[in-house]
Structure 1
Amino acid sequence: IVFNRGILFLFSIAFVFSAHARETFSISGRVIDQVTKQGLAGSNITIIHTSIGTTSDNDGFFMIKNLPAANYILEAGFIGYSIKKIEIPFLSADTALKIELNQSAIDGPLVIVESNRAQERVNPVTFNNIDRKTLQPRYTVQDIPEILSELPSTTFYSENGNGIGYNYLSIRGFDQRRISVMVNGIPQNDPEDHNIYWLDFPDFASNIQSIQVQRGAGSSFYGPAAIGGSINIQTNYFNPEPQLEVQTGYGSYGTSKISASFNSGIIADKYIINGRISQIKSDGYRDRAWVDFKSYFLGAAMYDQNHNLRFHFYGGPIKDGLSYEGLPKFVNDNSKLRKKNYSYWGVDSTGNNIEYAAERRKDEIENFNQPHFELMHDYRLSPQAALKNNLFYTLGYGFFDYDGSWGTPEYFRLTPEFGYSVDSIPSNALIRAYVNNKQLGWLPQLSINGSWGEFTLGGEFRAHRSLHWGRLQKGSGLPDDLVGNNARHYYQYKGAKYIASFYYHQVYK
């Protein structure tokens, strides 16, 4: 009898385990924001090491059915939030979970400096937005002015004829000295002449997330005066997915491009690093209007529940053949003459023929570099208040060499009163014009939103220093102390500009 009871007991245990193994269970629950407790619609819920998963409904609820008894690790994620993992040691019954996610690591509209961007039905400004999806199919190697020239009341022209290098933009007839340009809310116009030198941003369109072009006075609270319009550029958002990409291409006029980029993805739930390098070369449409542009872009970000800290370092050393002198209109119909690149020229008495011209020399070149350093911090003080601080430092240094045979001893200060006696300037004289710019700035801003509207208080603080000089880089027959790297500067001056301003803005609803 004892033996039979033992058999019966073992049989019962086996039956229970067999039935339990055939039974399935479910995992259900709701994914919510840890702070607001609102459901997160479209959250991804997956079981690690399997292909099983689902997404949450409009209220954040989800359910995964038909799971056999086993150990599981559930992973829940939502764009803009940290990924959360939940371990279920042994699933033996239907299980309900409440999953709270922390806001974290995706760069998005939060980082756009809204005060410089017009909003529909809020700002009385005519504007166009170009997002990355629209921009990328249209971009290859051309500079930003050519891309924007398709917008209403916007035109551009290119010195070397192929949209790479020195390009000039006009909005509503105003040249770019009267157009405010900002990148991530940071002013880019030269503090001395208010110009914007697009060639110092080589291949920059590859790093752009969106562009807003405002026509007219614009809505910016700070930065250079913008009578013609404003251009606000936002660089790429940080991507949570790891990525490595290499691109290359070749086009007309000996144009080529090669680039490589990487993205680390999210590191330790709060860090992201990305970078990009590229090189663009072209012979140019016009003679000797070549370019050799290298570019770099490095970004790093750290995210917390209420903090967003980003660092950008970008720029690119450029080299190009000068081609700034225009041509008379009548050469447009001549396929050879319209490609000419003269240092100077003149027409005959009829005005229909070129009487004299000097071909631009091969040693008339430019060499420049303009690195940018940006540190941007966003702090969410509360659901209604945000504090932004942007620090930036911009360098710009280099030279351009151009023909100096037109000069006189008086122009170069080679007369007896300066201790020299030079009768004439040689025909191969070459001038080197050098510039070194430094700019440091701080842009604080406090924004408060409520049912009554929006309140914005901020400031702009910038300091700019510059050094300019010129010398004779080449010149046959001139004394050694007047030519070359150790030659005297026939002109030299320094510049300085300090900007401090405050602003207050109120929008009522």
Structure 2
Amino acid sequence: MKKGVLFAFFVCLTGILSAQVQEKDSTEAKEIVLDEVLVSSVRVTKESPVTFSNITKEQLAPRNLGQDIPILLNFLPSVVTTSDAGAGVGYTGIRVRGSDATRVNVTINGIPYNDSESHGTFWVNLPDFASSTEDLQLQRGVGTSTNGAGAFGASLNLLTDAISEEGYAQLSSSYGSFNTMRNHVKFSTGLLGDEFEFSGRLSRIISDGYIDRASSALDSYFLQAAFRDKNTLVKALLFGGHEITYQAYFGIDAETLATDRRFNPAGQYTDENGQTRFYENEVDNYKQDHFQLHWNQRLGRGWNSNLALHYTRGRGYFEQYREDDDFETYGFEPVTVNGELITETDLVRRRWLDNDFYGTVFSLNRDFEKVKFILGGGYNWYEGDHFGEVIWARLAPGADIRDRYYDDTSRKTDLNLYAKANYQWNDQWSFYGDLQLRSVNYQANGEETGLVDDTFHFFNPKAGVIFDLNRNNNFYFSWAVANREPNRNDYENGNPKPERLNDLELGWRYISPDIQVNTNLFYMRYRDQLVLTGELNDVGAPLRANVGDSYRLGLEVDAALKLGKSFMWQPNLALSTNKNIDYVFQRDGVLEQLGNTNISYSPGIIAGNRIAYQPNQDFILALLTKYVGKQYMGNIDAESSVLEAYTQTDLNVSYEIRPSSLLKRIVFSALVNNIFDAKYVSNGYFFTFDDTFSNPGTTTTVEGAGYYPQAGINFLAGIQLEF
């Protein structure tokens, strides 16, 4: 019955739109680049009432020396980035408007990239992916309907390399602080017979990391085969990576931060002689491979379609040395040694993930006389195995090596259908509508999650109006609803509810040849928002909990101004207030009404600035500055949870020469990060617990915090040769 209602809904909507428009003759239809159809269903333009930023591969190139994509996006409006290893290589993260990566919906060529269970994005699994990215778009707020889990803070849409008309070979190498090195080789055959192209990339990145032992060994590849004629584009993509990363998610306390900010407690243990040692293989070892097949077709009379199939295979483990662990956890039987009952042992364990993610996404696009219409959707299936093995133990009575001490499975299906339309009423006014239906089922039998079998049905409407005052000034207003299901960690942490968001955006864009200004006000009102508590689970993943009502209210401004012929100034500023409404907390055994409190990890001020000097197309010198204001790592406004404001400034230079027809280009690039050597912390964690044992009969709430310090002044320098 429900499927029938969904089908009828979209049939009716399609019929209504078709009846209200006149078709243009196919000879008059606007030319659409078929590559763009890959992401047209999830991308927006200034004709849409959505707040967004676009970045091209040319803009990424000067700073693309091996750091992860979140770090390359650090200077965008409302963006805060983090790095466990402190230098932008390895595990990195991004927050937008205070929303963490589990709320930033990421698609690659329109295919969902967020992990189905955790909702997170792990860029460490796709090292050097920026080198195979044609362009990307970051939408802030709910944005437009997209594939995968709904966006609660932002959407990041990546388009991989377009077909190259001419063949080339490219060698690139960079080296920098902390023995960070990147090497890659990239090639394209160019168009063969005006229809076929083959291209690819192989990369390796290694780094010792700023934090002690926070090393990374990252391999990746990208292969593309493409066919293109006047009306058809078919792309087959195979890409992936293998990462081995020494863990640095523990952070350090305030005292250690003051005395030894590079200290890493991961893998620490005491040997039989009482000496402090560090286990050399406390690593994350994970492989991920992606296959995508895209068929884009121009159907005539303005119709264009995209059908894609995808499959992702992931497998790997996190290895840990555990001191004095309980036998009971692993099913070991207690033993008596020299008359003493032994119930604990030192051991090394591996916690495995083995998962498959596959499905299809599609879209059908049509430009009518006054309406641009998109009908699309997708069906995705995820299956994951979670299991643990003991690979060594000092004592393991009755156990065999690699016995599984837990063995969990999970499954998730995700169906979504959407219809979008832009209606051009006259030369100045246009209207936007976007309706999405999404159905999600999640099943799990984990020891931590318990038995889960939940189904969610979400309706996510969006509407807006755009007013073009003249060729330079564009105004928009939008209202969007998003609903989102809990993730696996939420189930492990309690009995979570789905969350709901109403997002209001009011914006003004000014565009001229020398000045571009984007200004917007936003009000994001949540019900049962799953906010970060500040705590981490035992593998470093952030924990969340439902709060009642909460909101984010803010102003964002970004601009690009040409100053003469050679200078470009690009400032941005985000001011916001982010509040939990009538927050309740139990302290010292007594329930307290705290009133409105600050939402965790939500700074009230975020500012970015880029000043670039470019006297010609071959040379560019840029100074980039980021300021992130004070933020709380918890939701109770505790002083011990404060993450202090910080400022970071980078210097970037790039110079290109064209020596001959054989060696087409030589590009020298250098990046000096944190040139003023600021001692700053971009991320941390906060926790509380009730002490009932120090003073029996009395409950005392204890607070604690950890910090992830970032590197002082450091550099990367590289050379790229193109033949």
TM-score, structure 1 as length reference:
0.72
Q: Which of residues 12, 16, 36 is equivalent to 1:110?
A: 36
Aligned residues: 388
Query: What SS does the corresponding residue of 2:142 show, helix, strand or coil?
Result: coil
1:98-497 equivalent positions in 2, closer than 5 A: 110-120=36-46, 122-334=47-259, 337-343=260-266, 360-415=278-333, 423-427=342-346, 429-479=347-397, 481-483=399-401, 487-497=402-412
Using a 3 Å threshold, how does the CA distance of structure 1 residues 312 and 252 change in structure 2: closer, same or farther? same
**Percentage identity across aligned positions?**
32
* Cα distance between partner residues in 1 of 2:150 and 2:420: 18
* Cα distance between partner residues in 1 of 2:34 and 2:61: 18
Letter in structure 1 aligned against 2:421: Q
Deviation at 1:422, TM superposition (A): 8.3
Using a 3 Å threshold, how does the CA distance of structure 1 residues 422 and 457 change in structure 2: closer, same or farther? farther
- Give 1:503's aligned residue: 418
Query: What SS does the corresponding residue of 2:61 show, helix, strand or coil?
Result: helix
* Cα distance between partner residues in 2 of 1:216 and 1:250: 37
Using a 3 Å threshold, how does the CA distance of structure 1 residues 362 and 242 change in structure 2: closer, same or farther? same
Query: What SS does the corresponding residue of 2:261 show, helix, strand or coil?
Result: helix
* Cα distance between partner residues in 1 of 2:398 and 2:85: 35
Letter in structure 1 aligned against 2:343: S
Using a 3 Å threshold, how does the CA distance of structure 1 residues 466 and 445 change in structure 2: closer, same or farther? same
Deviation at 1:287, TM superposition (A): 1.3
Query: What SS does the corresponding residue of 2:158 show, helix, strand or coil?
Result: strand
Indicate conservation of the 8 Å contact 1:409/1:422, yes or no: no
Using a 3 Å threshold, how does the CA distance of structure 1 residues 317 and 344 change in structure 2: closer, same or farther? closer
* Cα distance between partner residues in 1 of 2:278 and 2:45: 48
Letter in structure 1 aligned against 2:84: E
Query: What SS does the corresponding residue of 1:370 show, helix, strand or coil?
Result: strand
Using a 3 Å threshold, how does the CA distance of structure 1 residues 155 and 480 change in structure 2: closer, same or farther? same
Query: What SS does the corresponding residue of 1:404 show, helix, strand or coil?
Result: strand
Deviation at 1:247, TM superposition (A): 1.6
Using a 3 Å threshold, how does the CA distance of structure 1 residues 108 and 389 change in structure 2: closer, same or farther? closer
Letter in structure 1 aligned against 2:418: Y
- Give 2:606's aligned residue: none
Structure 2 regions of 5+ residues with no counterpart?
1-25, 269-274, 335-339, 425-723
* Cα distance between partner residues in 2 of 1:250 and 1:302: 37
* Cα distance between partner residues in 2 of 1:296 and 1:344: 30
* Cα distance between partner residues in 1 of 2:38 and 2:381: 24
1:12-51 equivalent positions in 2, closer than 5 A: 36=27
Q: Is 108-117 or 153-162 further displaced after alignment?
A: 108-117
Which structure: greater strand fraction?
2
Query: What SS does the corresponding residue of 1:146 show, helix, strand or coil?
Result: helix
Which structure is richer in relative contact order (CA contacts within 8 A, separation 6 or more)? 2
Letter in structure 2 aligned against 1:504: A
Query: What SS does the corresponding residue of 1:116 show, helix, strand or coil?
Result: coil
* Cα distance between partner residues in 2 of 1:422 and 1:170: 49
* Cα distance between partner residues in 2 of 1:246 and 1:433: 37
Using a 3 Å threshold, how does the CA distance of structure 1 residues 423 and 227 change in structure 2: closer, same or farther? same
Indicate conservation of the 8 Å contact 1:465/1:497, yes or no: yes
Indicate conservation of the 8 Å contact 1:162/1:285, yes or no: yes
Structure 1 regions of 5+ residues with no counterpart?
1-34, 39-79, 81-102, 346-356
Deviation at 1:123, TM superposition (A): 2.2
Indicate conservation of the 8 Å contact 2:34/2:232, yes or no: no
Query: What SS does the corresponding residue of 1:405 show, helix, strand or coil?
Result: strand
Query: What SS does the corresponding residue of 1:113 show, helix, strand or coil?
Result: helix
In the TM superposition, what whole-angstrom CA distance separates every residue of 1:82-106 from its partner, at most 9, and x where no partner exists?
xxxxxxxxxxxxxxxxxxxxx9xxx
Structure whose CA Rg is larger: 1
Query: What SS does the corresponding residue of 1:410 show, helix, strand or coil?
Result: helix
* Cα distance between partner residues in 1 of 2:68 and 2:384: 26
Deviation at 1:458, TM superposition (A): 1.6
Letter in structure 1 aligned against 2:142: A
Letter in structure 1 aligned against 2:196: Y
Indicate conservation of the 8 Å contact 2:145/2:418, yes or no: no
Q: Is 109-118 or 450-459 further displaced after alignment?
A: 109-118
Indicate conservation of the 8 Å contact 2:138/2:156, yes or no: yes
Query: What SS does the corresponding residue of 1:426 show, helix, strand or coil?
Result: strand
* Cα distance between partner residues in 1 of 2:348 and 2:253: 25
Once superposed, what is the RMSD of the aligned Cα atoms? Answer: 2.4
* Cα distance between partner residues in 2 of 1:383 and 1:328: 64
* Cα distance between partner residues in 2 of 1:158 and 1:244: 32
* Cα distance between partner residues in 2 of 1:115 and 1:402: 43
In the TM superposition, what whole-angstrom CA distance separates every residue of 1:449-489 from its partner, at most 9, and x where no partner exists?
11121122122111111111001122123358443xxx211
* Cα distance between partner residues in 2 of 1:242 and 1:154: 37
Letter in structure 2 aligned against 1:465: E
* Cα distance between partner residues in 2 of 1:406 and 1:150: 45
* Cα distance between partner residues in 2 of 1:388 and 1:37: 21
Query: What SS does the corresponding residue of 1:507 show, helix, strand or coil?
Result: strand
Letter in structure 1 aligned against 2:164: N
* Cα distance between partner residues in 1 of 2:131 and 2:262: 29
Indicate conservation of the 8 Å contact 2:370/2:423, yes or no: yes
Using a 3 Å threshold, how does the CA distance of structure 1 residues 146 and 360 change in structure 2: closer, same or farther? farther
Query: What SS does the corresponding residue of 1:411 show, helix, strand or coil?
Result: helix
TM-score, structure 2 as length reference:
0.51
* Cα distance between partner residues in 2 of 1:480 and 1:166: 37
* Cα distance between partner residues in 2 of 1:343 and 1:275: 37
* Cα distance between partner residues in 1 of 2:195 and 2:99: 44
Indicate conservation of the 8 Å contact 1:325/1:344, yes or no: no
Letter in structure 2 aligned against 1:444: F
Deviation at 1:207, TM superposition (A): 0.7
Deviation at 1:117, TM superposition (A): 1.1
Query: What SS does the corresponding residue of 1:199 show, helix, strand or coil?
Result: helix
* Cα distance between partner residues in 2 of 1:476 and 1:125: 59
* Cα distance between partner residues in 1 of 2:393 and 2:344: 8
Indicate conservation of the 8 Å contact 2:147/2:361, yes or no: no
* Cα distance between partner residues in 2 of 1:278 and 1:370: 15
Q: Which runs of 4+ in 1 moved over 4 A?
A: 35-38, 357-360
